[in-house]
């Protein structure tokens, strides 16, 4: 594990609070990790061709049979 050291003004830490700053930094790192994961997923999508995937087509048809009634009303209206 890598440790980063940052310097903050004492007045800032006293005003905001150590735990609040720690939570903010942790949340920020989690957002970065989520963005990286999303970028990886999007890059993987380029290599996937769902139109020609028989399992995907079967699953899509089955989902429509099971859940299509929810959307059919709004399409007809």
Question: Residue 76 above 80 pLDDT?
Answer: no
- Asked if pLDDT for residue 77 goes beyond 60, the answer is no
Determine how many CB atoms are found less than 10 A away from the CB of residue 21.
15
And the tokens for 27? 């949340």
Kindly report the pTM of this predicted structure. Answer: 0.55
pLDDT band at residue 74 using 50, 70 and 90 as cut-offs: low
Residue burial 28-55, b: 16+ Cβ < 10 Å; e: rest: eeeeeeeeeeeeeeeeeeeeeeeeeeee
In angstroms, the CA 7 to CA 13 distance is 10
pLDDT, one tens digit per residue, over 14-73 is 999 999 999 999 999 999 999 999 999 888 887 887 778 889 899 999 999 998 888 776
């Amino acid at each position: 594990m890598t440790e980063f050291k940052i310097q903050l003004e004492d007045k800032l830490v006293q005003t905001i609070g150590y735990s609040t700053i720690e939570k903010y930094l942790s949340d920020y790192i989690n957002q970065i990790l989520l963005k990286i994961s999303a970028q990886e997923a999007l890059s993987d999508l380029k290599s996937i061709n769902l139109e020609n995937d028989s399992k995907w087509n079967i699953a899509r048809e089955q989902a429509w049979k099971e859940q299509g009634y929810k959307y059919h009303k709004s399409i007809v209206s």
